Amino acid sequence: STISVFASGTGSNFEALADAGLPIAMVVCDHADAPVVAKAQARSIATFIIDYRDYPTKAAAETAILAALPASDLIVLAGYMRIIGPTLLAAYPGQIINLHPALLPSFPGRTGIADAYAYGVKVTGVTVHVVDAGIDSGRILAQAPVRILPGESLAHLEARIHAVEHQLLPHTVAAILKEELAL
Ligand code: GRF
């Protein structure tokens, strides 16, 4: 079995997946200069850089991604800052999962950690869910809590949330590939 990882930035979750020995066939990234690209190259993992501005529509961009993707059992969005469109969803029905740094359905969107922190919740966390046509809205597969400590800085909370992500995502992906967790 193989997985493809989609990422847009740092790639610490990609690294956690690779370090866990998961079978990553390709990393898809929408920014040529994103650190995740170098991280994949350093591990001799194929990369596909997609600049959506080169395409007239999202469907055209996703068609190009599909043409580049090796057949994958699972697509893992790990910090991919794009909304997945019908083209990819139709090609991988129920086979795309996403990592979100909050306890969905609370605090969806791009700033979930900061939003939870600003709201003043005592417990936030991490979610892995199936991707559907919405934003951060698919069936929840796994969650882990992260308490916000009294007086904790946002930066400190972010670091603790990422540490939990680096455990939860590889564990969840491994369970799916072992068919211990049904998508
Ligand atoms: C993670 O916090 C993920 O939950 C969010 O974007 C971040 C990606 O971090 N969607 P990295 O690129 O994996 O380090």
Name the band, by pLDDT with cuts 50, 70 and 90, for residue 1.
very high
Mean pLDDT of 7-22: 98
Q: Which among 31, 100, 162, 166 is annotated as catalytic? A: 100
Give the nearest ligand 1 atom to 77 CA: 10
Alpha carbons 79 and 54: distance in angstroms, whole number: 21
What are the tens digits of pLDDT across the range 138-161? Answer: 999 999 999 999 999 999 999 999
- Provide the pLDDT for residue 85: 97
Q: Is 112 in the pocket of ligand 1 (CB under 6 A)?
A: no
Average confidence (pLDDT) over 63-67: 98
For the question of residue 162 being annotated catalytic, the response is: no
Question: What is the DSSP pairing of strand 123-130 with strand 140-147?
Answer: antiparallel
Q: How far is the CA of 17 from the centre of ligand 1 (A)?
A: 12
pTM over 0.80: yes
Separation of 64 CA from ligand 1 center, angstroms? 24
| Backbone phi, psi, residue 19, to 5° | -65, -25
Predicted-assembly ipTM surpassing the 0.85 threshold: yes
State residue 103's pLDDT score: 98
23 lines ligand 1 (CB under 6 A): no
